[in-house]
Structure 1
Amino acid sequence: MSALSASPLSATAFETIVAKLRASAGMAAKADIGLAAARLGIGGADAIAVGDDCAAIPDGDGFLLLAIEGFMNAFVAGDPWFAGWCGVMVNLSDIAAMGGRPIAVVDAVWASGEDGAAPVLDGLRAASQRFGVPIVGGHTNLNTDRGQLSVAVLGRAKRLLTSFDARPGETLVAAIDLRGRYREPFANWQAALDAPAERLRGDLEVLPRIAEAGLSRAAKDISQGGVVGTAAMLAECSGVGVEIDLARVPAPLGVDAACWLMSFPSFGYLLTATPDNLPAIISQFHARGIAAAAIGTVTADQRVTAVNGPARETIWDLSQRALLGCGPAPAKAEDAA
């Protein structure tokens, strides 16, 4: 397994990376979630907590998981087959991130005629078959002036991994499949397209297995916000902070450090672990050929901090500026007494 750097980054490289992380469009876009949540009057304190990878709905002795993804128009127009593939893949990642297994997928496709819809639908079908999760319906409109796509998934979990259960003192773990390549121009690290179905399905099974064994309580799928942006969302929902040693993040050889930290990997997760459970979690991923490493620490200060040897830089101070706006409810005066 390779890490982002075998030793601490140079001071200049660290400063450059920190500046790019602070200006990351992928991270800033997550604030749009906060605007929508505020307008809808929902958040992390609701009975069905908002801000996680899926809505976790109590159902019998487990949970139904419901998630949806919408895709950028430029992505659908520029790489329609891959957009369809990702419609399935990213939703399945969200289900796995919460310790669940997928049940079925539905899609909504807009296109200008059958020819415009065909590659998107072909990508959806290919991913459905490879991952072994059926598409059971959806919505189609072939009379629009541009291609658009959204995809939703239903899953089930016996025991949850959530964005709301990271605790100070735990270790932050990153698990990323490095067996891939970039698919330009959208900086997506693609490690699934050439993988056999058996491997893809087995890799997703690692997360529910970790949840059901009680090895971790908190996890999040690494999204367009990259490693640091995803860590910020996890920290906000849990009301904690994180310190990330950038040099320890698993990475392919030869990648640009700043680009990698802001990339969206086809298989990438952050989890938190107690010292006793850390070796077992990492070994679960290593057994599947997936890179995994301890990359930092959960703190109590509500800051997202990049660490490079003795150097430390705050990327986002959640106590001063919300990201998702979906943190835990403030403690009541009588609770603090």
Structure 2
Amino acid sequence: MTQMPTAPIDLCELATRLARHASVLEKACIHNAYTQAESVCGSSRLGDDCAAIEDTASGGYLLFASEGMLESFVAEDPWFAGYSAVMVNLSDVAAMGGRPIAITNTLWASEGPACDAIWQGMRAASEAYGVPIVGGHTTRISTDAPAYLGASVLGRAGKHLLTSFDARPGDRLVIAIDLNGAYRRDKPFWNASTTTAPERLRRNLELLPQLAERQLCRAAKDISNGGVVGTLAMLCACSSVGVIVDLETLPRPTAANWMKWLISFPSYGYVLAVSEERVRLVLELFHERGIDAAECGIFTSGIGVSLRFGHLVESVDFGAGRK
């Protein structure tokens, strides 16, 4: 269950710390990562969770997602790095209203227990979510070199996409997170995947395509590294809107630290832009599946991300964070 805080928090300090946090700031400046591709991306828009390619045969879209795992993550937790390489891509496909078709991987590793653990993790995720690993590229390297891991997923969506570009001023911010989990070790990762039955994992991902097909949601994004605030910074930049996040209604595990939770990467978590008249229906869909979801604010005609607690509002000043 979520915790509804009663004690006040230092909102100014929290906003300042978030603006300076490396993972959040990286998301706020994500456009720097794809500037070089802007002249060669064709008709695709850069900034979504997946590349969306029009499929004239079906009248919908092919979706293509790709993720690389941090070298330190692969070294410290190789099984979970393998699992996550699959899981995060599947979440990205779902975030755009799509369904995954197949996975490929890219692995540079030496023979041995770490490589075996990476593969065991990828296999576990493939089997849990019911999506096959159909190929990829593997290079054997010397035993003293670090392993590198990436994965890609191909998916398919209908004619109604959920994008990062369609949030409008006045849309309500809905945040949905599966709180049926726990933090993994001391990392800001909320694991509601490896302990969840495969049937539930698959049903939960299916909610996003349903939202798209019923046109209940205008824009969506998977909550990634950088947490709620970093993800909203990316969404707002793509849609040229601002957002005010109401912390008092934000789904949150009982007793979770505010700073840690706002930068956390939940294994199942989405920020959604929903018109006011559709909020109730969207919330009901998530609640029926046992997923915590709430109306957590509003998109505005301004810019950037602001936090609200009670009557207080503080902006997260990423410009100051870059100094």
TM-score range, shorter chain: over 0.9
Deviation at 1:32, TM superposition (A): 6.1
Q: Which stretch shows the higher mean deviation, 205-214 or 29-38?
A: 29-38
Q: Does 1:23 align with 2:20?
A: yes
Q: What CA distance in whole angstroms lies between the structure 2 residues aligned with 1:113 and 1:69?
A: 23
What is residue 308 of structure 2 aligned with on the other side?
307
Give 2:178's aligned amino acid. D
Whole-Å Cα distance in 1 between the matches of residues 23 and 39 of structure 2?
A: 22
Paired residue type of 1:53: D
Query: Is structure 2 residue 293 aligned with structure 1 residue 254?
Result: no
Within the alignment, does 1:50 sit opposite 2:46 as a pair? yes
Deviation of 1:314 (Å): 1.0
User: Does the CA contact (< 8 Å) of 1:232 and 1:316 recur in 2?
Assistant: no
Pairwise CA distance, 1:42? 4.8
Give, in whole Å, the separation in 2 of the partners of 1:309 and 1:130.
41
The question of 1:37 aligning with 2:34 is answered yes
Q: Does 1:225 align with 2:226?
A: yes
Whether contact under 8 Å (1:105, 1:133) holds in the other structure is yes
Match in the other structure for 1:245: 246
SS in 1 for 2:147: strand
Q: In structure 2, what is the Cα distance between the partners aligned to 1:41 and 1:166?
A: 22
> Please, which moves more after superposition, 21-30 or 129-138?
21-30
Q: Relative to structure 1, is the Cα distance of residues 11 and 115 closer, same or farther in structure 2, using a 3 angstrom cutoff?
A: closer
Which position in structure 2 is the counterpart of 1:128?
126
- SS of residue in 1 equivalent to 2:245: strand
**Structure 1 contact 42–50 (Cα < 8 Å) conserved:** no
How far apart are the structure 2 equivalents of 1:38 and 1:267?
29
DSSP-derived class of the 1:113 partner: coil
Partner of 1:152: 152
- Residues 206-227 of structure 1: per-residue CA shift (max 9 Å, x gap): 0000110010120000001111
Counterpart contact for 1:85–1:125, Cα < 8 Å? yes
Matches within 5 A, 1:88-237: 88-144=86-142, 145-158=145-158, 159-237=160-238
Residue type at the aligned position of 2:26: A
**Which moves more between the two structures, 296-305 or 16-25?**
16-25
1:17 and 1:288 map into 2 onto residues whose CA distance is 32
How many Å separate the matches in 1 of 2:315 and 2:61? Answer: 36
Report the TM-score when normalising by structure 1. Answer: 0.90
Deviation string 1:27-53 (CA, Å, 9 cap, x unpaired) is 12225642232223359x962100010
Change (3 A) 1:31 1:305: closer
In 2 relative to 1, CA 247–46 (structure 1 residues): closer, same or farther, beyond 3 Å?
farther
Q: How much is the aligned-residue C-alpha RMSD, in angstroms?
A: 1.9
Q: What SS is found at the alignment partner of 2:106?
A: strand
For the residues of structure 1 that align with 2:216 and 2:242, how far apart are their CA atoms?
A: 21
Give the structure-2-normalised TM-score.
Answer: 0.93
Contact 2:27–2:231 (CA under 8 A) maintained in structure 1: no
SS at match of 1:28: helix
Gap regions ≥5 residues in structure 1: 324-337
Q: Distance in 1 between matches of 2:22 and 2:82?
A: 23
Name the aligned partner's letter for residue 48 of structure 1: S
Q: In the alignment, which residue of structure 1 is the partner of 2:289?
A: 288
User: How many residues end up aligned between the 2 structures?
Assistant: 317
Q: Whole-Å Cα distance in 2 between the matches of residues 147 and 201 of structure 1?
A: 30
Seq. identity, %: 47
Partner of 1:333: none
Letter in 2 for 1:141: T
User: 2: CA distance between counterparts of 1:86 and 1:178?
Assistant: 18
**Contact persistence 1:114–1:142 (CA under 8 A):** no
- Assess if the C-alpha contact under 8 Å between 1:98 and 1:220 holds in 2: yes
SS in 2 for 1:261: helix
Q: Is the 1:243–1:298 contact (alpha carbons within 8 Å) kept by the matching residues of 2?
A: yes
* TM-fit CA distance, 1:143: 1.1
Q: Deviation string for 1:8-37 (max 9, x for gaps)?
A: x5253x233222211121112225642232
What is the CA–CA distance in structure 2 between the aligned matches of 1:32 and 1:241, rounded to whole Å?
Answer: 15
SS of equivalent to 1:120 = helix
Give 1:230 deviation, angstroms: 0.7
